[in-house]
């Protein structure tokens, strides 16, 4: 979520001169009552994930952002940096196809003969000795400093959204969401690796600048069997607490190829997170406003591991014991999703 006021600018391409700017507070309850297809979750006064849903829902017309998209689902071909282990290095993983290309989801790679990856399938690399290993890409949400420059919310979309926001923060501990997400993400990496899973991280430090599109493209490029984006939540009402898991809404041309598998992963994650932590069960939510979902060609979830605006949960989230419970729950769910014992 965002702390600061968010400005979303919708540029109507073809209309030429029309530009609409909306300034919305981060905890806007604008989700209620909106009728566009982009936002499915009705989380009311809470905000979650990579940024505000309400702003996108209010600015995004279905014509420009949804079914009219020109970007069909396709796999980014195996690029030169397929073997990199982190997207931290701006030169290694995200490269040329980042913010300037609005229709880059369908990528043609020179020499590649296939370009389609459906949810739940993996593409083996000829000669790879680890072709059968399951791959999980973990994306610890946010980063030390947000980047408010804009990128399309989905391939071919004229609706734009901040590349990456700075997230929420602990109301008592003052710990930023980015730091909590990184700590839990690193523990999750270690846990999954101990079960033989190949884990790649979008970042392993705070001081990076990686947009949500770039994070998704990193998961695509590495043919992740699951893309796990770790976030925590915030709300105006400090009594709000608990865990929920987000997954991509079905948007034709963007996420219709990953929605079913993503929902399955979300259900498993929610169930096992609640069992492991005893946190309040807030269910799962389909979301159409997350750039990092809309650009993904692989199954993706966002576990919202707790409310940092709830004093009790904030303090709990900073304890090693509670983080371990979260990791334990996520590990169980991910292994089940991947069919790994």
Question: Which parts of this chain interact with Zn ion (CB under 5 A)?
Answer: 141, 167, 231
Shortest spacing between CB 49 and Zn ion, in angstroms? 6
Q: Which whole-number Å values give the CA distances from 55 to 21, 63, 68, in the listed order?
A: 10, 17, 20
Q: Which residue number places its CB atom closest to Zn ion?
A: 231
Of the two residues 77 and 167, which places its CB atom closer to Zn ion in the complex?
167
Shortest spacing between CB 69 and Zn ion, in angstroms? 25
Shortest spacing between CB 308 and Zn ion, in angstroms? 9
For 22, residues 6+ apart whose C-beta sits below 8 A from its C-beta are: 7, 8, 10, 55, 58, 59
Of the two residues 75 and 164, which places its CB atom closer to Zn ion in the complex?
164
Shortest spacing between CB 177 and Zn ion, in angstroms? 5
Of the two residues 57 and 308, which places its CB atom closer to Zn ion in the complex?
308
> What's the gap between Cα 136 and its chain centre?
13
> Could you give the CA distance from residue 64 to residue 147 in angstroms, rounded to a whole number?
24
Of the two residues 187 and 231, which places its CB atom closer to Zn ion in the complex?
231
| Sequence-separated contacts (24+) of 312-321 with Cβ below 8 Å | 312/241, 313/241, 313/242, 313/279, 314/170, 314/171, 314/172, 314/173, 314/175, 315/170, 315/172, 315/173, 317/170, 317/175, 317/180, 317/232, 318/170, 318/173, 318/175, 318/180
**Strand 6-11 to 300-307 pairing:** unpaired
Of the two residues 11 and 293, which places its CB atom closer to Zn ion in the complex?
293
Q: Which of 230, 258, 224 is nearest to 135 (CA)?
A: 224
DSSP assignment of 92-143 equals TTTGGGSTT-SSTTS---TT-------TT---PPTT-TTTTS-EEEEEE-S-
Of the two residues 144 and 260, which places its CB atom closer to Zn ion in the complex?
144
Of the two residues 107 and 143, which places its CB atom closer to Zn ion in the complex?
143
Structural tokens at position 52: 């505000």
Shortest spacing between CB 48 and Zn ion, in angstroms? 6
Shortest spacing between CB 75 and Zn ion, in angstroms? 26
Cα atoms in the Cβ-side hemisphere of radius 13 Å centred on 176 = 17
Of the two residues 223 and 231, which places its CB atom closer to Zn ion in the complex?
231
Shortest spacing between CB 304 and Zn ion, in angstroms? 8
Shortest spacing between CB 165 and Zn ion, in angstroms? 7
Shortest spacing between CB 269 and Zn ion, in angstroms? 16
169 touches 180 (CB < 8 A): no
For 125, residues 6+ apart whose C-beta sits below 8 A from its C-beta are: 78, 82, 131
Tokens 């987000």 sit at which residue?
A: 246
Of the two residues 82 and 238, which places its CB atom closer to Zn ion in the complex?
238
């Amino acid at each position: 979520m965002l702390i600061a006021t968010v400005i979303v600018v919708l540029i109507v391409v073809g209309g030429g001169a029309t530009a609409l700017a909306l300034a919305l507070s981060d905890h806007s309850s604008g989700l209620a009552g909106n009728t566009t297809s982009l936002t499915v979750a009705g989380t009311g006064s809470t905000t979650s994930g990579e940024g505000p849903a309400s702003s996108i829902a209010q600015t995004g017309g279905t014509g420009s952002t949804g079914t009219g998209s020109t970007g069909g689902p396709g796999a980014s071909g195996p690029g030169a940096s397929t073997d990199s282990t982190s997207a931290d290095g701006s030169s290694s993983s995200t490269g040329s196809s980042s913010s300037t290309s609005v229709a880059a989801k369908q990528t043609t790679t020179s020499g590649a003969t296939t370009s389609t990856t459906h949810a739940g399938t993996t593409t083996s690399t000829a000669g790879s000795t680890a072709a059968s290993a399951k791959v999980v890409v973990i994306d610890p949400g946010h980063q030390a400093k947000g980047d408010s420059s804009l990128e399309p919310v989905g391939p071919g979309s004229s609706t734009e959204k901040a590349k990456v926001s700075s997230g929420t923060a602990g109301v008592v501990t003052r710990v930023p969401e980015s730091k909590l997400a990184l700590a839990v993400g690193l523990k999750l990496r270690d846990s999954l690796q101990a079960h033989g899973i190949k884990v790649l991280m979008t970042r392993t430090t705070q001081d990076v600048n990686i947009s949500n599109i770039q994070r998704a493209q990193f998961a695509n490029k590495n043919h992740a069997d699951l893309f796990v984006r770790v976030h925590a939540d915030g709300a105006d009402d400090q009594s709000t607490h608990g865990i929920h898991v987000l997954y991509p809404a079905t948007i034709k041309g963007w996420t219709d190829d990953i929605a079913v598998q993503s929902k399955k992963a979300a259900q498993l994650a929610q169930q096992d997170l609640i069992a492991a932590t005893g946190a309040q069960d807030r269910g799962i939510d389909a979301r159409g406003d997350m750039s990092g979902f809309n650009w993904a060609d692989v199954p993706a979830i966002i576990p919202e591991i707790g409310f940092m605006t709830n004093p009790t949960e904030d303090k709990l989230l900073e304890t090693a014991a509670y983080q371990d419970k979260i990791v334990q729950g996520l590990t169980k769910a991910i292994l089940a999703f991947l069919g790994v014992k």
